[in-house]
Structure 1
Amino acid sequence: MIDVDSLRVRFGSNEVVKGVSFHVPVGGSFGIVGESGSGKSTVLRAISGLNAEWSGRIVIEGETMKPRRDRAFFRKVQMVFQDPYGSLHPRQTIDRILSEPLLVHGIGEIEARIEKVLAEVALPSTVRFRYPHQLSGGQRQRVAIARALIAEPEILLLDEPTSALDVSVQAEILNLLADLRETRRLTYVLVSHNLAVVTHLCPQVGVMIGGEMVEQLSAEDLRAGRIHHPHTSQLRALSVDLEEVA
């Protein structure tokens, strides 16, 4: 479904992504983990079409992408952002937020689709006419996921989808995303600094530092410590330490 080959992204004289390559099969889930500033979110923005300044090769479902994407691409590929409060328009009701993608793409049956997608993300229909500030953080992220799903995409790009949420809510959102991938046969690329989040959703993981993907390995090998690059070992050790403290 997704092939990224020798992706490079430069901001002025600063190269922030340096020849990153990976593959995600149809219905698969690939995680990119790294510290802040490692370039992982920049990779996601290049795939999503939000950043047109890149070189290399991005292929989606057999089609080589150009820097500028057409409307059909944005129906096929949707993104869920880190901060659900920042990504939802504060002066629009949930009903308007969910209607807008359908109107943009000329998709009918708006009423039925909104009811269906709210049920899929386990939100009551009563939230439809509320505003984002009237919802909890977890509910807002469920709305953000519903907005991404409502045009029936094939790919979800997830940029730290749980990092702005309380720990007690993170597991609920991760389990929801796992269920949605299974039922809709979605393909995911997940970016996170949290190894536990990545290994929960992704059987394959790429580790980034300084704009480079220094290692790709399975979640099983990561859990077992079958690691080759020292930076991966450092991330794993830090994750274990944090979990012990928690």
Structure 2
Amino acid sequence: MIEVDKLRISFGDREVVKGVSFSVPKGGSFGIVGESGSGKSTILRAMAGLNNDWTGRIGFGGQDVPRKLPASFFRQVQMVFQDPFGSLHPRQTIDRILSELLLVHGIGDIEERIEQALADVALPKAVRFRFPHQLSGGQRQRVAIARALIAEPQVLLLDEPTSALDVSVQAEILNLLADLRAAKNLTYVLVSHNLAVIAHLCPEVGVMLGGEMVEQLTADDLRAGRTKHPHTSELRALSVNLEDPV
């Protein structure tokens, strides 16, 4: 479903992503872990069409991503951002936020789709006519996930989806994402600095350091300490418990 080959991204004279390659099968989940500034979120933004200044190849479903993205791309690929409060319009109701993408793409059955989207993320119907500031952080992130899912994409790009949340709700959101992937056969790429979060949701992991993906390994090998690159071992040593994402 996803192919990234020799991806390079520069900001001015500084190359921040240096020839990164990975692939994700349909229905799979691939995690990218690294410290701040390693280039992991920059990769995700290029994949989401938010940065067109890259070289190499990005493909979804066997089709290369063109420089000028068609509207159909944003039905296939959606992104969930780190800060749900920042990514939701503060002056729009949840109803308006969820209906906007449907209106843009000319998708009908708005009423039914909004109700189903809220049900998919386990939010009550009463949430629909509230504003983002009236919801908890976990509820806002559920709305952000519902918005990403409402046009029935095949791919979700997840940029630190739990890091802005209270510890008490982080595992709930991760379990919700796991359930949605299984139920809807979605394909995920998850970016995080938290190795436990990555290992919880992704069977395959790529480790970033200084713009390079220095190692790819399975979550099982990660838990067992079967690492090859010293940086992967360092990140693993800093993780308190790879079985518990919080």
User: TM-score with structure 1 length normalisation?
Assistant: 0.98
For structure 1, the 5+ residue unaligned runs are: none
8 A contact 2:199–2:242 mirrored in 1:
no
1:87 corresponding residue in structure 2 = 87
CA distance in 2, matches of 1:41, 1:29: 16
The one-letter amino acid paired with 2:148 is A
With over 3 angstroms needed to count, the CA separation of the structure-2 counterparts of 1:132 and 1:13, relative to structure 1, is same
With over 3 angstroms needed to count, the CA separation of the structure-2 counterparts of 1:241 and 1:152, relative to structure 1, is closer
Structure 1 moving runs of 4+ over 2 Å: 240-244
CA distance in 2, matches of 1:100, 1:241: 40
Q: What CA deviation, in whole Å up to 9, does each residue of 1:153-206 have, x standing for no partner? A: 000000000000011100000000000000000000000000110011100000
Shift of 1:230: 0.3
Q: Percent identity?
A: 77
8 A contact 1:54–1:67 mirrored in 2:
no
8 A contact 2:195–2:242 mirrored in 1:
no
The alignment partner of 1:240 has SS state of coil
Where do 1:1-246 residues align within 5 Å?
Answer: 1-240=1-240
The alignment partner of 2:68 has SS state of coil
Alignment coverage as a number of residue pairs: 245
Shift of 1:240: 2.5
User: TM-score with structure 2 length normalisation?
Assistant: 0.98
CA distance in 2, matches of 1:120, 1:66: 31
CA distance in 2, matches of 1:241, 1:89: 36
The one-letter amino acid paired with 2:56 is G
CA distance in 2, matches of 1:100, 1:4: 30
CA distance in 2, matches of 1:12, 1:99: 38
Structure ranking higher in helix proportion: 1
CA distance in 2, matches of 1:19, 1:77: 22
